[in-house]
């Protein structure tokens, strides 16, 4: 039955997931990465007037620069052409390591408009850029004060390009996302680059006001794109227009105006669909099994090694005629581990009552003392030995962590118990306790879900209930429907799903990797993206 249910659940989840996959929308990756992304400006500080072109280099340029063909620069006076070649540059200009290339066209006349494009013959294929223009060179009023360096990117600022503005997806409104291709001056990592200013207006004509600034650098290396969320006093439903200015050594270069963008609230976070589906299944199966357990259905739980040892350990204490110590951790009753630990105490107490072995439970919280007394009393009653019970079995030492450890230490050394249990939430005192128990040769059975203390218990105790085993043991012993059902629900709705999804998708991913198909593993990874 369990298998069928599990299988059913698996199929139920995988189907919507696959449907989800089909409808999977790409992220807000609006800025394309065409070859080149050509921009041109009238060269600053050039009293003669000239145009400087900038474009991003083609793939392979940086890697195999020496064998890479030159870029041809084509110019026209009308957007439709005809374009004529006016020169060419190689990979080394201005610097081989840059991600962009530049060319300065000096054979121009101030006041005329020009259109440019770049082409390159790569392995028999001609790759052309976008057409940029119109651009008219302006004669600068004064020359640059400093000597014009060889690195042309260091004397002028290029504008950011391809600015896109859109409502930030999946939010409660109040913000608009801007995305632009970084300025060439920024991409060249010029030290004088000062970041970007963001200007905003409610109409395309302006007036624009500065609403923020940001540093240089890219948010997405592959696309050379910078993303920014403007959240300054945005009103939902209002149209906004933006432009971005690149700042470089006192100069600024503005992008084109983009917009309008309207900020809106969304009703559902589309990136969280997979979460909702998987979480829904988990929640559903937990509730289902809790109900089943309540209805009295038998739910199977495997044997837990530490629990089996409990009988043996109690038996040994009886043989030796010594006491059993039970330490329920140093946390209060609101901690699930303490509660689980006390359930196990019930079992131990029942055994000690049957064997007539002395039990001692030193505790560090008054509430735990009250609860532990209840549990021990009930266990003695159930074992038919209520006469054997007295309140002194459970006693309070102190709330203080080290004080409690020192107290238990002293007791253990004096009374030399045959068996010591540590079940509950433990912190740094764990190793002090375990060491002392060990030094008197007691059998020690520990159980905790504190990850940092588990190693010490494993190394110093005979048996350790590791993490979840503690909770499983408590569910097993108490037979409480809510605990049993949760355990079962976690197993089938969580772990089994994880296991089966992992197995299926690992196989698919491996096939994808060996067939050199990047899309497959990419899709798998994106499916489980956390947003």
Partner 1 sequence: MDKFWERLLTIDRRVIFVVIFLALSVPIFLQIGLPIPVTREVQVLYDSLEDLPRDSKILVSCDFDPGSEPELQPMAEAAFKYFVENDLRFIVIGLWPQGPIQGNRAIEDIDESDDEYIVKDGDTLYFGADLVVVGNDTAWYGIDFINLGFQVGQELVIQRMGTSFEATFPSDRRFGRPQKEFPIMDGIYRLADFDFVFNLSAGYPGTVEWVQFAVDRFHVPVGAANTAVQAPLAYPYLDTGQLSGILGGMKGGAEFEKLVGHQARATMFMTSQTMAHIFVMLFIIVGNIAFFATMKKSDRRGIRE
Partner 2 sequence: MSSEFGIWLAAFFTIGIASFLYKDNPLYKFCESVFVGISAGYWAVALFWENLITKMFDGLGISYSLGLWPEKGALQDIFSGVWNWNILHVLAAILGIMMLMRLFPKIGWIARWPLSVIVGSTAGLWMITYFQSNFLSQLQKTVIPLFDIGRINELSEIGAVMAEQGRSIPLDNYFAAYLGNLVLIFGTLAGLVYFYFSKEHKGIFGRTAKVGIYFLMITFGASFGYTVMSRMSLLIGRLYFLFSTWLGFVN
Partner 3 sequence: MRREIPLILTGIVGITFFVQFFVPHSPMRELSETFSDWYSIISAFAIWLGGLNLMKISFEKVYKKDKDWFFAVTTIVSFFLILIVGLFFSGGRQYLEQGSGYDWLYRNIYSPLSATMFALLAFFVASASYRAFRARNAQATVLLLAAFIVMAGRTPFGDWITVFLPEGWRLSNLSNVIMNYFNVAGQRAIMIGIALGIVSTSLRIILGIERSHLGGE
Footprint on this chain of partner 3 (rule: CB under 8 A): 170-173, 265-269, 272, 275-276, 279, 282-283, 286-287, 290, 333-334, 336, 339, 367, 371, 402, 428, 431-432, 434-435, 438-439, 449, 451, 455-456, 458-460, 462, 467-468, 471, 482, 486, 489-490, 494-495, 498
Helix axes 336-355, 468-478, angle to 10 degrees: 50
Q: How far is the CB of 295 from partner 2 (least distance, A)?
A: 18
Asked whether the beta carbons of 304 and 473 are under 8 A apart, the reply is yes
231 is an interface residue for partner 1 by CB under 8 A: yes
Nearest Cα to Cα of residue 152 among 248, 256, 27? 248
When the beta carbons of 91 and 456 are compared against partner 2, the nearer one is: 456
Q: For 120, phi and psi rounded to 5 degrees?
A: -150, 135
When the beta carbons of 137 and 447 are compared against partner 3, the nearer one is: 447
Asked whether the beta carbons of 266 and 236 are under 8 A apart, the reply is no
When the beta carbons of 251 and 521 are compared against partner 2, the nearer one is: 521
495 is an interface residue for partner 1 by CB under 8 A: no
Q: How far is the CB of 277 from partner 2 (least distance, A)?
A: 11
Tell me: cis bond preceding 134? Omega within 30 of 0 counts: yes
Binding mask 461-480 for partner 1 (x = CB under 8 A): -x------------------
Asked whether the beta carbons of 313 and 351 are under 8 A apart, the reply is no
Secondary structure (3-state) at 514 = helix
Q: How far is the CB of 6 from partner 1 (least distance, A)?
A: 26
Q: Which residues bind partner 2 (CB under 8 A)?
A: 2, 274-275, 278-279, 282, 299-304, 400, 402-403, 406, 451-452, 454-456, 458-459, 466-469, 472, 487-488, 491-492, 494-496, 498-499, 501-503, 505-506, 509-510, 512-514, 516, 521, 524-525, 528-530
For residue 128, the cross-strand partners are 119
Secondary structure (3-state) at 199 = strand
When the beta carbons of 168 and 285 are compared against partner 1, the nearer one is: 168
Q: How far apart, in Å, are the Cα atoms of 284 and each of 8, 69, 279?
A: 13, 62, 8
When the beta carbons of 11 and 458 are compared against partner 3, the nearer one is: 458
When the beta carbons of 173 and 195 are compared against partner 2, the nearer one is: 173
Q: What is the DSSP letter of 272?
A: G
530 is an interface residue for partner 1 by CB under 8 A: yes
Nearest Cα to Cα of residue 380 among 408, 341, 354? 354
Quick one: what does residue 525 bind among partner 2, partner 3, partner 1, none, with the CB cut-off 5 to 8 Å set by partner type? partner 2
Look up residue 489 and give its two tokens.
């629900």
Nearest Cα to Cα of residue 70 among 52, 84, 58? 58
The CA R_g of the chain, rounded to the nearest whole Å, is 36
Asked whether the beta carbons of 363 and 405 are under 8 A apart, the reply is no
When the beta carbons of 97 and 236 are compared against partner 3, the nearer one is: 236
Q: How far is the CB of 498 from partner 3 (least distance, A)?
A: 6
Asked whether the beta carbons of 492 and 2 are under 8 A apart, the reply is yes
Quick one: what does residue 265 bind among partner 2, partner 3, partner 1, none, with the CB cut-off 5 to 8 Å set by partner type? partner 3
When the beta carbons of 44 and 494 are compared against partner 3, the nearer one is: 494
Q: How far is the CB of 190 from partner 2 (least distance, A)?
A: 30
What residues numbered 151-180 form the site for partner 1, per CB under 8 A? Answer: 172
330 is an interface residue for partner 1 by CB under 8 A: no
Q: For 269, phi and psi rounded to 5 degrees?
A: -80, 105
Count the neighbouring beta carbons within 10 Å of the beta carbon of residue 254. Answer: 15
When the beta carbons of 321 and 451 are compared against partner 1, the nearer one is: 451
Quick one: what does residue 377 bind among partner 2, partner 1, partner 3, none, with the CB cut-off 5 to 8 Å set by partner type? none
443 is an interface residue for partner 1 by CB under 8 A: yes
CA distance 304 to 487: 14
220 is an interface residue for partner 1 by CB under 8 A: no
CA distance 61 to 126: 15
Element (H, E) at 470: helix 468-478
When the beta carbons of 172 and 367 are compared against partner 1, the nearer one is: 172
Q: Which residues bind partner 1 (CB under 8 A)?
A: 172, 195, 212-217, 229, 231-232, 441, 443, 451-452, 462, 530
């Amino acid at each position: 039955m369990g298998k069928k249910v599990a299988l059913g659940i698996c199929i139920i989840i995988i189907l919507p997931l696959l449907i989800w996959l089909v409808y999977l929308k790409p992220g807000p990756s609006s800025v394309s990465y065409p070859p080149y992304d050509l921009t041109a400006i009238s060269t600053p500080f050039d009293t003669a007037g000239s145009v400087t072109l900038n474009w991003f280099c083609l793939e392979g340029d940086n890697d195999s620069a020496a064998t890479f063909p030159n870029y041809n620069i084509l110019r026209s006076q009308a957007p439709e052409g005809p374009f004529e070649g006016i020169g060419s540059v190689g990979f080394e200009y201005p610097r081989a390591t840059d991600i962009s290339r530049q060319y300065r066209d000096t054979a121009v006349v101030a006041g005329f408009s020009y259109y440019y494009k770049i082409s390159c013959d790569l392995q028999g294929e001609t790759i052309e850029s976008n057409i940029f223009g119109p651009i008219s060179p302006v004669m600068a009023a004064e020359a640059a004060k400093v000597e014009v360096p060889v690195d042309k990117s260091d004397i002028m600022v290029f504008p950011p390009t391809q600015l896109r503005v859109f409502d930030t997806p999946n939010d409660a409104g109040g913000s608009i996302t801007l995305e632009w291709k970084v300025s060439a001056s920024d991409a060249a990592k010029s030290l004088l680059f000062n970041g970007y200013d963001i200007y905003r207006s409610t109409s395309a004509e302006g007036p624009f006001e500065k609403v923020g600034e940001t540093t240089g650098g890219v948010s997405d290396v592959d696309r050379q794109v910078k993303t920014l969320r403007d959240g300054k006093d945005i009103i939902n439903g209002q149209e906004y227009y933006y432009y971005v200015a690149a700042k470089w050594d006192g100069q600024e270069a503005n992008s084109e105006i983009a917009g309008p963008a309207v900020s809106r609230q969304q009703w559902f976070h589309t990136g969280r669909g997979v979460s909702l589906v998987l979480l829904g299944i988990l929640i559903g199966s937990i509730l289902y099994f809790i109900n089943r357990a309540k209805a009295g259905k038998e739910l199977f739980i495997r044997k837990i090694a530490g629990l089996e040892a409990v009988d043996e350990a109690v038996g040994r204490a009886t043989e030796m005629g010594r006491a059993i110590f039970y330490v329920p951790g140093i946390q209060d009753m609101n901690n699930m581990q303490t509660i689980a630990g006390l359930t196990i105490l019930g079992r131990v107490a029942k055994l000690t009552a049957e064997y007539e072995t002395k039990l001692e439970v030193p505790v560090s919280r008054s509430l735990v003392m009250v609860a532990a007394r209840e549990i021990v009393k009930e266990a003695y009653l159930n074992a038919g030995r209520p006469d054997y019970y007295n309140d002194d079995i459970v006693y309070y030492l102190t709330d203080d962590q080290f004080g409690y450890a020192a107290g238990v230490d002293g007791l253990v050394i004096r009374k030399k118990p045959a068996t010591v249990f540590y079940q509950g939430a433990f912190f740094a005192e764990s190793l002090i306790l375990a060491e002392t128990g060990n030094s008197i040769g007691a059998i020690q059975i520990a159980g905790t879900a504190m990850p940092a203390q588990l190693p010490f218990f494993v190394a110093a105790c005979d048996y350790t209930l590791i993490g979840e085993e503690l909770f499983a043991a408590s569910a097993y012993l108490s037979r409480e429907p809510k605990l049993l059902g949760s355990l079962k629900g976690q197993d089938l709705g969580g772990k089994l799903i994880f296991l089966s999804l992992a197995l299926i998708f690992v196989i698919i991913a491996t096939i994808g990797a060996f067939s050199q198909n990047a899309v497959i593993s990419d899709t798998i990874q994106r499916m489980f993206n956390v947003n």
